[in-house]
Amino acid sequence: LYAQSINYTFALDDVAVVKGNKFVHKGFAGIGDILHTFYWAGFWETNAGLFRPLSLILFAIEWAFAPDKPAFFHFTNVLLYAVCSFLMYKTLRELLRDLSPVLAFGATLLWIVLPAHTEVVANVKSADEILSVIFFFMMMRRLLKWSESKGIKDLCLSALWLFLSLLSKEGALLFLPIAFLALYMFRKEELKNMIKPAGVLGTVTGIWYFWHWWVISH
């Protein structure tokens, strides 16, 4: 559906985060700079309070292999969106395990073709959005496995994916209430049983928040 965007060039914020970003142009050598500077630092000195290193790291790696080749960046976005869609289907299948798979498939298909998602795929910069949702689905799947096993491994992996989602985009904070609401509604988890995962995920969120605050403040 979005394959036509592979022929597009860089546009809008793509100029700031890819085409004109000095850290991205360093390739792998720019990753260190990306990890301790605010989002726009590689292009201008306007600190808007954003810290989203993962998408910039992705762009730096892409630039190392295909410098100033927008088709490669757009292809990656299309591929990431396909991965995101697949993970959404898998997550819904696990979440709605007692219902027909047609429901999960239909919901995923509707989500894929929503016109509101066009900018997310066609705008290279929006890889931060896609990565954030990919890691959320991975977090959610591990959290659902924890609901069955109550194992610490599943809980720790869920926390890792949440951490990566937060490093992709700050809005991932909103995934936390969604995750616990899903456990309550679809797994009938008692509130007392969610204290442990809340503590683990809350700790990871606190670590992310401190890192975010330090970078923005300094």
CB contact at 8 A, 168 and 52: yes
**pLDDT tens digit at each of 218 positions of the chain:** 899 999 999 998 999 999 999 999 999 999 999 999 999 999 998 888 999 999 999 999 999 999 999 999 999 999 999 999 999 999 999 999 989 999 999 999 999 999 998 999 999 999 999 999 999 999 999 999 999 888 899 999 999 999 999 999 999 999 999 999 999 999 988 888 999 999 999 999 999 999 999 999 98
CA–CA dist 194, 190 (Å, integer): 7
Q: Which residues contact 191 (CB under 8 A, 6 or more apart)?
A: 184
CA–CA dist 46, 24 (Å, integer): 17
pTM: 0.94
